């Protein structure tokens, strides 16, 4: 056969078509279930799971299908990590810090009070050694993880009365779960852990004096501003909280490499996109809230300093007791200290000028 015969349009097209068909047939149909910790009403967060599923399907010619379930549909919202670890579901969307009851080191996956901001979290995970350290930790649970989103720095929440100093925290009943709650308890707050849907009625009947949630876009939907007008910042317990996709390690290892690549790429895209959505949706939400009489306040400096001191005392104490925590904490702290030193040079001075100049 002459070379030009091979290259004639029709025969080359048929040949390529046949190869493509053979290759597509080589790849199996895979159907996974993804259990999310989050309700569909948190559309920016839950939406990242839907985005992941849609992109994975598009990148595999529809052969790798992931069906997403909101919190409570398949497993309870806070049971997602265990469900993935045990292989009840192939993958999940959650936040590591929901599981600090197992080991405080889970918090490095999401956020620690006075820890990394969103940009630093990405830098640590993708290029600063964080992914490797956290994957070693999660491997002991039979789980592989992928950063899958970030809210950016959250708000400090809604207070019925103004907080003028540390003394005003005494006996304050505040909905604040996790490590932030533990630290505020040391400063006199009575922390409460209440699911999203139950916060508004508790605030309304006075069972709560204050609550934190996420930021303007998500908070507005729950209507806290109708009861508590004082809106504090920053949410120092969530300066850059990462949302995460968890995958059952053995199920992952059984995937064809192109499906693994599709999942990895789609997770990275979801990660970028969630922060972009928050950065685009929070500003107009804040404007709407301010038009309704919401009053913004920074937390008093003595509150911030006392909370920061309590936070690092907690980490140092935990490091002495918990080798898994210490191993990650040492590297995380080294990364953060260097990053903060650099960030204040160009980034912070640029932002400060831009945001505050009149
Ligand atoms: Ca929060």
> Exposed e or buried b for every residue in 316-339, given b needs 16+ CB within 10 A?
eebbeeeebbbebbebbbebbeeb
Q: Is the pLDDT of residue 8 over 70?
A: no
Q: Mean pLDDT check: name the lowest of 139-143, 174-178, 340-344.
A: 174-178
Phi, psi of 314 (to 5 degrees): -65, -45
pTM of the predicted structure, to 2 decimals: 0.92
Determine the distance separating the centroid of ligand 1 and the alpha carbon of 242, expressed in angstroms.
12
Determine the distance separating the centroid of ligand 1 and the alpha carbon of 212, expressed in angstroms.
6
Q: Is the pLDDT of residue 49 over 50?
A: yes
**How far, in Å, CA of 130 to CA of 147, rounded?**
11
Q: Average pLDDT, stretch 47-72? A: 97
Q: Is the pLDDT of residue 254 over 70?
A: yes
Determine the distance separating the centroid of ligand 1 and the alpha carbon of 177, expressed in angstroms.
8
pLDDT band at 194 (very low <50, low <70, confident <90, very high): confident
pLDDT value of position 18: 47
Tens-digit pLDDT profile for residues 256-314: 999 999 999 999 999 999 999 999 999 999 999 999 999 999 999 999 999 999 999 99
Q: Is the pLDDT of residue 79 over 70?
A: yes
Determine the distance separating the centroid of ligand 1 and the alpha carbon of 199, expressed in angstroms.
13
pLDDT band at 196 (very low <50, low <70, confident <90, very high): confident
Determine the distance separating the centroid of ligand 1 and the alpha carbon of 22, expressed in angstroms.
49
Q: What angle do CA 267, 271, 275 make, to 5 degrees?
A: 160
Task: List the domains of the chain with CATH numbers.
Answer: 3-152+239-280 (3.40.190.170)
Q: Is the pLDDT of residue 22 over 80?
A: no
Evaluate whether 275 touches 147 at the Cβ level (below 8 Å): no
Q: Is the pLDDT of residue 14 over 80?
A: no
DSSP 165: S
* Average pLDDT over the chain, rounded to an integer: 94
- Edge to edge, the sheet with strand 242-248 lists 64-69, 30-36, 91-94, 242-248, 143-150
Q: Is the pLDDT of residue 202 over 90?
A: yes
């Amino acid at each position: 056969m002459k070379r030009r015969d091979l290259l004639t349009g029709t025969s080359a097209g048929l040949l390529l078509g046949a190869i493509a068909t053979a290759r597509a047939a080589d790849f199996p149909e895979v159907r996974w279930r993804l259990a999310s910790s989050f309700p569909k009403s948190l559309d920016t967060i839950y939406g990242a799971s839907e985005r992941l599923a849609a992109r994975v399907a598009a990148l595999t010619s529809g052969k790798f299908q992931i069906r997403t379930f909101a919190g409570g549909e398949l497993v309870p919202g806070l049971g997602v990590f265990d469900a993935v670890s045990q292989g009840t579901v192939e993958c999940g969307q959650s936040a590591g810090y929901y599981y600090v009851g197992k080991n405080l080191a889970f918090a490095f996956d999401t956020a620690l009070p006075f820890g990394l901001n969103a940009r630093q979290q990405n830098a640590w995970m993708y290029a600063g050694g964080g992914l490797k350290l956290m994957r070693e930790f999660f491997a002991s649970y039979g789980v592989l993880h992928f950063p899958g989103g970030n809210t950016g720095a959250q708000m400090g929440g809604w207070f019925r009365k103004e907080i003028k100093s540390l003394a005003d925290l005494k006996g304050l009943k505040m909905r604040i779960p996790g490590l932030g709650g533990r630290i505020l308890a040391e400063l006199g707050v009575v922390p409460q852990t209440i699911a999203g849907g139950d916060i508004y009625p508790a605030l309304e009947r006075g069972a709560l004096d204050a609550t934190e949630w996420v930021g303007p876009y998500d908070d507005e939907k729950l209507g806290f501003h109708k009861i508590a007008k004082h809106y504090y910042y920053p949410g120092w317990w969530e300066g850059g909280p990462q949302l995460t996709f968890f995958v059952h390690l053995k199920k992952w290892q059984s995937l064809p490499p192109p499906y693994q690549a599709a999942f990895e790429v789609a997770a990275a895209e979801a990660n970028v996109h969630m922060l972009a959505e928050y950065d685009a949706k929070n500003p107009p939400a804040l404007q709407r809230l301010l038009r309704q009489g919401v009053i913004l306040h920074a937390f008093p400096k003595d509150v911030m300093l006392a909370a920061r001191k309590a936070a690092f005392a907690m980490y140092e104490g935990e490091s002495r007791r918990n080798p898994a925590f210490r191993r990650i904490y040492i590297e995380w702290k080294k990364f953060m200290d260097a990053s903060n030193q650099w960030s204040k040079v160009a980034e912070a001075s640029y932002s400060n000028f831009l945001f505050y100049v009149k």
